[in-house]
Structures are given as C-alpha cells and as structure tokens.
Structure 1
C-alpha cells in the first residue's frame, strides 16, 4: 500500500553550518546519488552484520536498524521515489513465485479469516487508543490517529483537518513499523519451533522467463498505481507474477544477487523515515508509542492464534496477515520466511482498503464533527 514507507523522509533542508560532525559535513555537500550510495553502504553493513549473526530476515531488519540509527544521528540518508518504486516492482515479481497451485486450493477458507480481520483491526485500534489516551494522556484526536494500524499518509491527511499533533502521530506509526520488522521474524521462527523457512532455496527463473515476465509485471504495477490499488508498485507486479507462476507459464524468481540488495533497500526505506526526528523527539514518544504497540501486538497475536486454529494455517502466516504493519513489508516478510505471501497480501489489502473507505465515517463517529478551526490547524 501507499503507506508510510512510500513517504520515506528525506532531509532536503540546506546545511546551516551548525553541525560539524564528519558524516554531517560529508552528506551536506553531497549530491543525492552520493547520499544514496552512503545510505546503501550503511544498509549493507547492517544486513551483513545481522546475517553474520544468523538473525532472521537479516538483510531487511539489519539494514533497517543501521540506517535508522544513522538517520537519527544526523546522517542525511535518502531513498529516491523512483528507486523505491523500481525495487517494489522487482520484489513483487519475485514474490509471486510463492503462489503455488496448492495455495489456490485453500482460497475458499479466506472469508473466515477476513471476517476475523475486521474484528482484530477494531480491537487493535482500541487497544492502542486506550494506552495513548488513557495512560499516556495524549489528546483524543492524537491518540485515535496514532493508534490506527497503518495507512500513515491517509491518516496524516485526516489528522491534519482535525488539528491533531502530527509529529506524535508520525512517530507512533513509524516506531510501530520499526518494531514490527525487528520483532516479527523472531516471533514467526519461534512459532515454527525451528528455523525452518529461514534458509529457503528458491529455484531461479530462467533468463528468458524474466525477460518476458518482468515487463508484464511492470505494466501491471503501473496500471495498479494508476487506478489507486494499495501499494500498486509492489502489488500489481505481485499479482501478475502470481498468476503467471501459478499457471506454470513462467517462473519469475529474482537471482540472489538482485534479491538481497532489494531486501536491504526496503530496510533502508524504513530507516529513512526517522529523518524528521531527533533522538530527543524520538525518546519523548518512545514510552507511549512502545506501550501502544505492545497492546496492539498482543491483540494481533490473539487474533492470529484464533484464525490459525480455526482454518489450520501456520501461526506465523496468520500473524503477518493480522500484524498492524504496511502491506509491502508484511508481504515481503512472508516471502522471506517461506510463508504464503498471497494470503498475507490479500488480508493486508483488505485491511488498508477498509480503513480508507471507513475512516472518514469512523472518525466523525468517534471524535464528533470536525472542529471549525481544524482546517487551518497544521
């Protein structure tokens, strides 16, 4: 979805000469390509370090952690939109290989989990709201929008009209996704009882298959983006690739030398989101945001456990489908952990689409009519 990830922050303000740390001076006078190279170098160090330690989803989570720390430290990290979109197309293309014919045989079970998803989203939002408003004493509007699971760009648009505290909302949402990417791989692996799924060997697609399939996936991504499909650049390619792979017409799997850098780039995107914050600002919302995340995540765990029991799917797969995170990242984690990315993507799309359609009405119902001064509040 075109979630907060798609709005990865970039520090494009001019350098004012007040910071003379070597890193800050370097990036302040560097071009965007040089800053991108520095960001990817940091991501590579993080991904490589986590992979060396044998941590799950290492190239994604390691890159995210290292870039986030560097960004909060003042390094002007950057991930240009076109680079981001191209990576999403490539990943969506490769992720479609996870949709096998046997997966399609279980699609009939999805309505059960979809119905439970609605309940879980409501409870997740309520749990986060109780912590932010009841315990942390955030204003009602700020707590409400800070507790909504995902869709940051859309949430910010609604919160602006209500005069809510946008920095707190963005911080809460960013921290939620950061913790999810750091925690979920461990939760999924633990639920399997072993490290199964962490060292998946995938048959690479033939060069001719990729030569024919990637342009089709790119066209599907462009169309999905044009018509407003959530996370169009990734989901368009994903569903085109899924159809081709499931039918047996083509095998579309990226080679490792493209796949791993793509994982790192996604991690770097998340890390770049902290560019609008300082360590002090981060620390000021850390406690409340972490508490809200814990309440929301425990609710997601309960919902995932119930749906896993009812329809007999792996707990980790249900957890990724119900996790209050971004569509692209949750689907990518399913792919990396050898779970069903189609199941996860379908549920995350339904969650996002439902929120976009219903949030204006729910906001008015929960918070009342928009304040007359809300339009000018910024």
Structure 2
C-alpha cells in the first residue's frame, strides 16, 4: 500500500482514476525498459518494462492497462512483425507437419509433467494442478476452471509466472547469455507513407475479421498474417518507425506485468516454488523436443523452442520477431496449440475428473 499512499500525495485533489493508473504504469514500464536498454539486455524494452511493472504490482502499486490500448499495441505489432516473414518461408511449409507432430508430443508431455509436479510436489488439488499445468491459453483455462472445483488465483499465478519467466529468460537463453540490443529493429525497412496507410487499413480489416471469427490473439494474428502476405509477396513494405515499435514493446511488457496486480506479495511467495518447479519441468521438455525437431529438420533451435514454449501466442511470436527468427513458423505452431487446447480440453476435463 506504500505506493498507493505515495501516488495519492501527488494527486491530492482527485480519485485514483484508471487514466492516472495507466499513465503511472507507462512511466514505470518506460523506466524499466530504459534501464534494461542501458544494460544492453536482449529484448530490453519488453522485458524491462515487464519486470518493473510486475514488481510495482506486487508492491500494491496502482498499475492498469486498458484493453483497448493493449489491443492497439497488438495490432501495431502484428503489422510490423509481418516484415520478418521472408519469401523463402513458403518453401519450407512442407516441413511443418513434422514439427506439428513434435508439438503434440511436447504439449502432452509438458501438461503431464506440470500436473505431477503441482499435484505431488507442491500439494495442489488435482483439478487446480491440471489447469495450472496447461501451457498457455490463460483466459480459456480460467473460463473452464471457473466451472470446476479449482483454485483460480493459484491457476492464474502459475500461468502468469510461467509467461513472466519465459519473457525474462528466453532472450538470454537464445543469445547464450550474451547481452545485445536485439529489438527487431534491424528488420525495419521503411516503405512509403502511402504504402503504410493502405497496409494499415488492410491489416486492420484482417484483425477485425479475426475478432469476428474469435481467432486467438485476433488483433495481432489478423494484422500479422495480412502484413506477412503483403511483405513476403513483395506487394508492400510495412513496418512502424523504431520509436513507435519501442513504445509497443513497453505497452506489452507492462501488460504482462499488470497480471500480477491481482495477487498479493504473500500469495506470490507462497506459490512461486511450486510454479517454478512446474515451469522448469515443462521448459526442459520443450527444449528437448525443440532440439530433436530442429536437428531432424535442420531448423534454428531458438525458432523451434519459441514454437514449442508454453507461453502465449502473441508474446512468443513477438519474441521470434525480436530475436530475428521466423515469426510465421512460431505463430502457426502456437495457433495450432491454442486451437487444439480449445477443442480437446473440455472433453479431457470431463474424462479425467468425471464431473
């Protein structure tokens, strides 16, 4: 509550409005991102903002990220990330069924290992451990868990901590612990203003259709695949200026950090060890599966790891763009994983728990 009192001191005449919370969150995220940038950490603006806002949230700071701002950032990122899809990607699509088969094995193994760790090592109840172990798909998992006898705060904490660690850890893993200013800025090839305006309209239309069709991560997914088509086909060159791209990184990093505003520091400390143990088991399986698939198909290990990593569709695809890997490959696999979960989880839940 200390941060609340300090914030009120600067706003003595008004209530703690959502707009002031949002402004405060942006300033915290910007400061964290800039500090990480000064340290030359990979994905600095994204991970630095995330860490700073998460720490503020756990200390009961007044953090808030409006859904419309989040969706706008996802849309703009999708538009720019399409620039990372090269024409030669089409020539390797025939290899995707093999990597998709590996994805199925990895997802089942991650869920099983996470469940065993949370159930028998951390002592969580069966249904809570099951939903907490499912990789990604947080909103859908919480919707299913709310209909069962499951502990929603524990599930949300486990899922949020997994994404937090992935965003903080993966850039360092994929660069072998080396520091560097990897932000995807090297991929920016600025087209004409007319191209950008027309492309922005087309990408917005694609995102709107994706929202209507209830496609996962619709605002980013729709814009990304439209932009990827326009860039890879050579019809247009679409990308945002560097400063706008960095602003989107800060917004998305702050959005991840805001997830921790719904849990107290005590709850976080109580759940951290079990959640980290489940994450470690799942990440080891994802890494092993990625290494096997990458060796068989002669693909970059980091690219397959991001495709198999138990994180969110939008964030894993964004990391692929930042790390200068193939975002189309990662997005396609993460999308298939999400759709598979949506189709299978309801029946699997009934089959496993008989309620």
| TM-score of the two chains, using structure 2 as the length reference | 0.95
**Distance (whole Å) between structure 2 residues aligned to residue 25 and residue 74 of structure 1:** 16
**Distance (whole Å) between structure 2 residues aligned to residue 245 and residue 203 of structure 1:** 10
Is the 8 Å Cα contact of residues 37 and 181 (structure 2) preserved in structure 1? no
Is the 8 Å Cα contact of residues 156 and 166 (structure 1) preserved in structure 2? yes
Report what 1:22 is aligned to.
Answer: 6
* Matching of residue 53 in structure 1 with residue 39 in structure 2: yes
Change (3 A) 1:26 1:158: farther
* Matching of residue 206 in structure 1 with residue 230 in structure 2: no
Is the 8 Å Cα contact of residues 42 and 179 (structure 2) preserved in structure 1? no
Q: Using the TM superposition, give the Cα deviation of residue 23 of structure 1 relative to its aligned residue in structure 2, in angstroms.
A: 2.8
**Distance (whole Å) between structure 2 residues aligned to residue 24 and residue 265 of structure 1:** 23
Aligned residue for 2:147, secondary structure, equals helix
> Per-residue displacement from partner, 1:161-217 (whole Å, max 9, x unpaired)?
1111111111100100000000010111119x8969667522123211111100110
- Aligned partner of 2:141 among 142, 155, 159: 155
| TM-score of the two chains, using structure 1 as the length reference | 0.90
Is the 8 Å Cα contact of residues 40 and 179 (structure 2) preserved in structure 1? no
**Distance (whole Å) between structure 2 residues aligned to residue 296 and residue 206 of structure 1:** 44
Unaligned regions of 5+ residues in structure 2, if any?
Answer: none
* Matching of residue 332 in structure 1 with residue 318 in structure 2: yes
Aligned CA-pair RMSD: 1.9
Q: Using the TM superposition, give the Cα deviation of residue 91 of structure 1 relative to its aligned residue in structure 2, in angstroms.
A: 0.4
1:116-131 alignment runs, 5 A limit: 116-131=102-117
- Aligned partner of 1:179 among 161, 165, 179: 165
**Distance (whole Å) between structure 1 residues aligned to residue 22 and residue 179 of structure 2:** 37
**Distance (whole Å) between structure 2 residues aligned to residue 20 and residue 319 of structure 1:** 40
Report what 1:246 is aligned to.
Answer: 232
**Distance (whole Å) between structure 2 residues aligned to residue 350 and residue 36 of structure 1:** 33
* Matching of residue 315 in structure 1 with residue 305 in structure 2: no
**Distance (whole Å) between structure 2 residues aligned to residue 215 and residue 26 of structure 1:** 41
Change (3 A) 1:272 1:20: closer
Provide runs of 4+ in structure 1 moved above 6 Å. Answer: 17-20
**Distance (whole Å) between structure 2 residues aligned to residue 67 and residue 194 of structure 1:** 22
Report what 2:100 is aligned to.
Answer: 114
**Distance (whole Å) between structure 2 residues aligned to residue 283 and residue 64 of structure 1:** 18
- Aligned partner of 2:23 among 15, 32, 37: 37
Unaligned regions of 5+ residues in structure 1, if any?
Answer: 1-16, 371-378
Report what 2:124 is aligned to.
Answer: 138
